[in-house]
Amino acid sequence: MMQQKPSDPLSQGSGQTQAFLQTRNRRDRTARKAFFGITLIPVLLIIVITCLLVIRAWPILSSQPLANLMLGEVWKPTNEQFGFLPFILGTVWVTLVGVILAVPACLLVAIYLAEYARRSTRTIAKPVLDLLAAIPSVVYGVWGLLVIVPFVDDILGPFFHRWLGFVPVFSVTQPTGFGIFAGGIVLAVMIAPLIIAVTFEVLSTVPDELRQASLSLGATRWQTISRVVLPRVLPGIIAAVVLGASRALGETMAVLMVVGNVPSIPTSIFDTAYPLAALIANNFGEMMSIPLYDAALLSAALLLLVIIMIFNILSTFVLQRILGKARI
Amino acid sequence: MEPHIQVKDLNAFYGKQHVLKNINIEIPRNKITVIMGPSGCGKSTLLKTFNRFFELTEYTRLTGNVLIDGQDIYNRDVDVTEVRKVVGLLAQRPAVLPMSIFDNVAYGMNIHNMKKDRNKTREAVQHYLEIAGLWEEVHTRLHDPATGLSIGQQQRLCLARGLAVEPEIILGDEPTSALDPISSQNIEKRLIELKKDYTIVIVTHTLRQAKRLADHVIYMYLGEVAETNSAPEIFTNPKHERTKQYLDGIF
Ligand SMILES: Nc1ncnc2c1ncn2[C@@H]1O[C@H](COP(=O)(O)OP(=O)(O)OP(=O)(O)O)[C@@H](O)[C@H]1O
Ligand SMILES: [Mg+2]
């Protein structure tokens, strides 16, 4: 059968196809708008929540200089003293210990899985790691209470105190097991799957040709990883760690259960602490008769939200550039 | 003269797929040996057994021997990094390392701890860039990222980088197939210059390139070596039916 002279549907189509094309395009535009609208909802939600927090926190934010709040060391709601410093430092310490404990192990695991492991090992290890990420926070908390706190109390605390006690950061002054170190250990385990998964993804973006180029020159695996692979993905690995840190900053339940919750300024990893998230969770809804108390808690929430948002945006930005570029 | 590479009863498997079947060949020293054959016949696989890249793929199996200067490279106490130092590879598409032009060439020397000081390294980098015919083009921007070079320049950089670890054998798996004609000619010219010092094994799909380069030809078909002979012999008087058909362009 002979082909008809090819017709250009844009200019020469029959009336019917014209109409069809128009509806089709209109639908496409509508769908596009609808999807855009739905995508906008989370963004709006963040804006709304932030605004709400600002409004509710305003009474205290406007009553005194920000520095007073942030650097105040005393927390006595009954005296209307709202110093956030113990909580800010509590958050920083617990997060820092968690990240420091998690990162080296996570990097090794991710490097092992991405660079050394056989495919069969990977197919087993990955779901197990995902499972670890799916365990509810409160379960980690219970595990922390039952296992980690006694472990810190009976073994780690005495050990560190004996051998490194002369360094203030490692000395034990309140031997209960509850405190920053226990919180850090629990956090480290909780953020590990995320850091491992993201680092693994980042490592997978390195093209195999590069590894082969290095290996073909007689480099060992480790030389290839340390001189070719890692330098290339360093920003991505930092972003993975920051993402893990932002997860740790906001983690509430598990930490709250093991960290002691005493609003004082910690000087040792075996001291108790009171992170911002725990403060909010423990107190919100209580003692609301004290003026400004509610505002103080909500400004704590605002503070936490802002810090986490900054961490998240930075790391997502870096990761998108790395992962996005490789996927094109 | 004793052959540089000897392959004895070599069999290779990807999983259950038998891709190299009883390969027995000898590759002469300081000559260009060209491996030809239809797509999927096992040319790349054969090449990968020479620098032990075959084992980088999972679920593979190899039996038989590959001897380089009489030494079995699959012997237990042979260090695989030593094998790859002696047997360089020029890949199909140039993979420059994400570092400067200078550092690309210096990379291999550094990992093998070959140069005692920075000055020696600098001399060597210049030397190998000159051999690869790239020095003139890049000597003013040695510390710029190598990714800024054209593909043809990148391939010559890969050649310089490979030569810098002082190999004795250069493998090339269709090393010019990603390049434009001028760059290809340039690489071919380098290879011909290099054969006085190196043993070169090239896989190519272009008959004309094979005729320009080859001193010796291995013709493969379905995982077997169908015919191997000196270039003039095989091009004018192919013995095997498949070789004849291939040369006549029936494939
Ligand atoms: N990584 C791999 N996994 C499984 N099978 C493979 C793999 N690489 C190659 N093969 C198979 O081994 C056989 C030989 O492949 P090889 O790449 O050596 O062929 P080739 O002669 O180089 O082909 P071409 O000319 O297309 O490059 C083919 O049948 C191929 O499908
Ligand atoms: Mg091939």
Q: List pLDDT tens digits, range B204-214.
A: 999 999 999 99
Contacts of B97 (CB under 8 A, 6+ apart): A210, A213, A214, A228, B103, B104, B107, B146, B161
**What does DSSP say about strands B5-14 and B17-27: parallel, antiparallel, or unpaired?**
antiparallel
Over range A110-124, report the average pLDDT: 94
User: How far is the CA of A297 from the CAs of A71, A277, A304, in angstroms?
Assistant: 16, 10, 11
Ligand 1 site-directed mutation target among B11, B16, B17, B19, most atoms within 8 Å of CB? B19
Whole-number Å distance, alpha carbon B54 to ligand 1 midpoint, is: 11
| Residue of chain B whose alpha carbon sits nearest to that of A233 | B98
Q: Is B13 in the pocket of ligand 1 (CB under 6 A)?
A: no
Ligand 1 site-directed mutation target among B17, B62, B204, B205, most atoms within 8 Å of CB? B17
Q: State the pTM of this model.
A: 0.87
Ligand 1 site-directed mutation target among B13, B14, B35, B205, most atoms within 8 Å of CB? B14
User: How far is the CA of B91 from the CAs of A139, B53, B146, B157, B204, in angstroms?
Assistant: 52, 12, 16, 12, 12
Tokens of B127: 């030397």
Whole-number Å distance, alpha carbon A205 to ligand 1 midpoint, is: 24
Region for A112 from its dihedrals, namely left if φ exceeds 0, alpha if ψ lies in -120 to 50, beta otherwise: alpha
How much is the mean pLDDT over chain B? 93
pLDDT band for position A2 (50/70/90)? very low
User: How far is the CA of B173 from the CAs of A126, B107, B200, B203, in angstroms?
Assistant: 35, 22, 11, 5
Handedness of CA A125, A129, A134, A140 (dihedral sign): positive
Separation CA A52–CA A309 (nearest Å): 16
Instruction: Please determine, for residue B60, whether its predicted confidence score (pLDDT) is greater than 80.
Output: yes
Q: Which ligand is nearest to the CA of B13?
A: 1
Question: Could you state, in order of their start, the residue ranges of all structural domains in chain A?
Answer: 84-327
Sheet arrangement for strand B17-27: B17-27, B5-14, B60-68, B71-72
Interface test with B, best of A216, A220, A230 (most B CBs within 10 A): A216
Instruction: Please determine, for residue B116, whether its predicted confidence score (pLDDT) is greater than 50.
Output: yes
Interface test with A, best of B44, B111, B155, B163 (most A CBs within 10 A): B111
Over range A120-133, report the average pLDDT: 91
User: How far is the CA of B43 from the CAs of A90, A118, B2, in angstroms?
Assistant: 63, 26, 23
Instruction: Please determine, for residue B89, whether its predicted confidence score (pLDDT) is greater than 50.
Output: yes
| Residue of chain A whose alpha carbon sits nearest to that of B155 | A213
Residue A139's SS3 state is helix
The residue range of the domain holding B241 is 3-97+168-247
Nearest to B58 among A119, A212, A213 (CB): A119
Tokens of A283: 């107190």
Taking each helix axis from N to C terminus, what angle separates B151-163 and B181-194, rounded to the nearest 10 degrees?
20
DSSP secondary-structure letter at A64? S
Tokens of B180: 């434009």
Whole-number Å distance, alpha carbon B186 to ligand 2 midpoint, is: 22
Residue B244: per-residue pLDDT:
84
Whole-number Å distance, alpha carbon B43 to ligand 1 midpoint, is: 8
ipTM for the whole complex? 0.94
Contacts of B247 (CB under 8 A, 6+ apart): B207, B235, B238
pLDDT band for position B156 (50/70/90)? very high
Tokens of A133: 């990420």
Helix (H) or strand (E) holding B18: strand B17-27
Residue A80: per-residue pLDDT:
84
Count of CB atoms situated within 10 Å of the CB of A139:
11
Q: Is B107 in the pocket of ligand 1 (CB under 6 A)?
A: no
Q: List pLDDT tens digits, range A199-252.
A: 999 999 999 999 999 999 999 999 999 999 999 999 999 999 999 999 999 898
Task: Report the percentage of chain B scoring pLDDT > 70.
Answer: 99
B145 domain-assigned: no
Nearest to B46 by CA among A104, B36, B58: B36
Nearest to B19 by CA among B235, B240, B220: B220
Separation CA B157–CA A14 (nearest Å): 58
Residue A223: its chain B contacts at CB < 8 A? 111
Helix (H) or strand (E) holding A3: none
Write out the DSSP string of A217-282. Answer: TT--HHHHIIIIIHHHHHHHHHHHHHHHHHHHHH--HHHHHHSB---S---STTS-B--HHHHHHH
Q: How many residues comprise chain B?
A: 251
Instruction: Please determine, for residue A94, whether its predicted confidence score (pLDDT) is greater than 80.
Output: yes
Asked if B20 and B44 touch (Cβ cutoff 8 Å), the reply is no
Q: Is B58 in the pocket of ligand 1 (CB under 6 A)?
A: no
Separation CA B34–CA B47 (nearest Å): 11
How much is the mean pLDDT over chain A? 89
B103 domain-assigned: no
Separation CA B119–CA B170 (nearest Å): 27
Cβ contact, residue pair B56, A212, below 8 Å: yes
Separation CA B41–CA B201 (nearest Å): 16
Instruction: Please determine, for residue A89, whether its predicted confidence score (pLDDT) is greater than 70.
Output: yes
Over range B173-190, report the average pLDDT: 92
Residue A15: per-residue pLDDT:
66
| Residue of chain A whose alpha carbon sits nearest to that of B111 | A219
Whole-number Å distance, alpha carbon B189 to ligand 2 midpoint, is: 22
pLDDT band for position A1 (50/70/90)? very low
What CATH number has the domain bearing residue B23?
Answer: 3.40.50.300
Contacts of A43 (CB under 8 A, 6+ apart): none
Cβ contact, residue pair B97, A220, below 8 Å: no
B121 domain-assigned: no
Residue A106: per-residue pLDDT:
96
pLDDT band for position B74 (50/70/90)? very high
Contacts of B239 (CB under 8 A, 6+ apart): B227, B229
Separation CA A145–CA A120 (nearest Å): 35
Separation CA A196–CA A111 (nearest Å): 9
Nearest Cα residue to atom 25 of ligand 1: B39
Instruction: Please determine, for residue A9, whether its predicted confidence score (pLDDT) is greater than 80.
Output: no
Nearest to A213 among B81, B82, B97 (CB): B97
pLDDT band for position B124 (50/70/90)? very high
Tokens of B1: 């003269």
**What does DSSP say about strands B32-36 and B17-27: parallel, antiparallel, or unpaired?**
unpaired
Residue A156 or B116, more confident: A156
Nearest Cα residue to atom 4 of ligand 1: B14
Decide which of 3.40.50.300, 3.40.50.1220, 1.10.10.60, 1.10.3720.10 is the CATH code for A84-327: 1.10.3720.10
* Range in B26-30, B114-118, B178-182 the model is least confident about: B114-118
B175 domain-assigned: yes
Cβ contact, residue pair B108, A219, below 8 Å: yes
Whole-number Å distance, alpha carbon A216 to ligand 1 midpoint, is: 19
* Range in A59-63, A97-101, A319-323, B152-156 the model is least confident about: A319-323
Q: List pLDDT tens digits, range B9-29.
A: 999 999 999 999 999 999 999
B107 domain-assigned: no
Instruction: Please determine, for residue A10, whether its predicted confidence score (pLDDT) is greater than 80.
Output: no
Separation CA B189–CA B5 (nearest Å): 23
Q: List pLDDT tens digits, range A67-76.
A: 888 899 999 8
Q: Is B40 in the pocket of ligand 1 (CB under 6 A)?
A: yes
Nearest to B66 by CA among B49, B86, B42, B78: B49
Tokens of A255: 């930490």
Q: List pLDDT tens digits, range A250-296.
A: 898 899 999 999 999 999 999 999 999 999 999 887 766 777 888 89
